[in-house]
Structure 1
Amino acid sequence: MRASDADRDQVADRLREALAEGRITPEEHAERIDAVYRAKTYADLDPLLADLPSEQAPRPKVRLQKDEAALPPPVRQSAGLVAVFSGATRKGRWLVEPTTNVSCVFGGVDLDFRQAVLSQGEVTVNVSCLFGGIDITVPPGVRVTNSAAMVFGGADLPDDVIDPDAPLIRLTGMVIFGGINVRRREIGEKRSRHDRQLERHRRHMERIEEHHERMLERHTDMHRRRDERRERLRELRAERRRHR
């Protein structure tokens, strides 16, 4: 029987769990993920899980038949997010490309990986941030490392006590007068007091940025009207000289 996108995603989720548990290596995970998304039938998918344990049976299989309760396939979205004097959010069940580019200028970006499906064992989030912030939420079992350059900024990451072979999200790029905040939480887990304080601070910064944007627009409009008046005066003077 032909396999659906939901079937392939279910197998990919089980392989990600196996990688996090140390049952397969990152190289094996990458090879099997490639085979998953090339698979056309259940017979192509079965061998990819044949040597992995499961709670259902000694020699388990992920259910490959249609099921109303099956998870929907991940949504493939743009590999770039931009927030300029605004905010951008990506959450839910989305497919994480090998590289996701995030750009924010006087804005904020919120990335939630708790229900996301990684396209490979190691993905990169490349950051370009000026006077802004990025909040990242990851589930237990996923590592996060930061190699982004910080100029008058900082990064707050959770303690990395996870298996070195676990799926990895690598942060790169540059942050100037901004910050990156990473939190590890279960799906449905409520935010801590510290996170709520950070959220209030971010909303306060957004209001400041909105006020700054309005003032900039007023300032630009004032200069435009001043230039129009000056141009009108020059025209009147030129007209008087012609009539003399």
Structure 2
Amino acid sequence: MSDPTPAVRASDAEREQVADLVRRAVGDGRLTMVEGDERQRAAYAATFRHELAPITADLEPEPTAQPSRPAVGKEIATRPDATGSVAVMSGADRSGTWTPGLTHRAVSVMGGTSLDLRHANLDSRGLTLQVVSVMGGANVDLRGVGVDVTVQAFALMGGCEVVVDPDAVVEVTGVGFMGGFADQAGAPSGTPGPRVKVSGFAMMGGVSVTRRPLAVESGQ
């Protein structure tokens, strides 16, 4: 006897969620680029929810809960006006508990920079990030920051990826010449959160903005 329960159609958001998990698996080395491409094409071609489940069955599931965003207090008296990170044919990693200046400049020349702001000490004055990538790359994680952030990006034969919260209000106004600014964030989900403004110039390079849930991390 056939199952009378009809198949449930998948939404664009559900397809994008699966495709994003596949992209991260490729970045983590859990899937090859070929496998990732095949699975992403399958995700975007899926019509029903049950077609999405096998695509990520052997990958870790999306988190079912998110830790609360830390409260942003008064101005931090010891917060400097400016700080910086430089990676020239090398790497620069700022993560954990650290205090960026009101303006933080990150320069990558044939190197890579990772700016993880998830546990950074910020205040109500917000943050301006000046990201320069010349034949290099930069990753900026703004999940959970709880304040408005302005990203001024310059990419020359390089790239910059900005990751924001699902509820962030994103404005992308950059200009591309033989390159581009990709606003893959879409509309915020739930109550609109802090504002993230991304501007700048990309030549033979790219700047992208994506949304990603803040994973629950043990011991944090």
Q: TM-score w.r.t. structure 2 length?
A: 0.49
Q: Who wins on radius of gyration, i.e. which is larger? A: 1
Q: TM-score w.r.t. structure 1 length?
A: 0.44
- Higher strand residue share: 2
- Higher helix residue share: 1
